[in-house]
Amino acid sequence: MSTDCIFCKIVTNAVPAKKIYEDDDVIAFHDIRPLARIHFLIVPKQHIETLKECQPAHQALLGKMLLLAAKLAEEQGLVGYKTQINVGREGGQEVFHLHLHVFGGGPVA
């Protein structure tokens, strides 16, 4: 938990989000500035800054996030979709708490 991290605040419900999934390890919620008709984020509850910090101990968590992407995308009615992890400022990362983007369904209305 990092006190100045927006995703940690969403994890603890200090900041609201349109959640679509939650368990002991991860949450998923709709992106506040969607790039597609459906755009959600899969976020580990643990504060890991970037994919670069991940270790072999995170292997199961990373696999879980990817499998959850497919499950939730189907639940959201997506037939095909894109997944993306931005890594580091140079990789377009703005929120330094690991997250997987899932988006599809055509352009934002």
Q: Which residues bind ligand 5GP (CB under 6 A)?
A: 6, 15, 17, 29, 31-33, 86, 92-95
- Cβ distance 45 to 26 under 8 Å? yes
Element (H, E) at 16: none
Q: How far apart are CA 65 and CA 54, in angstroms?
A: 13
Q: How far apart are CA 77 and CA 100, in angstroms?
A: 18
When CB distances are held under 5 to 8 angstroms depending on the partner's kind, the choice from ligand 5GP, Zn ion, none that residue 8 binds is: Zn ion
Minimum distance, C-beta of residue 101 to ligand 5GP, in the bound complex (Å): 6
When CB distances are held under 5 to 8 angstroms depending on the partner's kind, the choice from Zn ion, ligand 5GP, none that residue 4 binds is: none
29 versus 81: smaller Cβ distance to ligand 5GP: 29
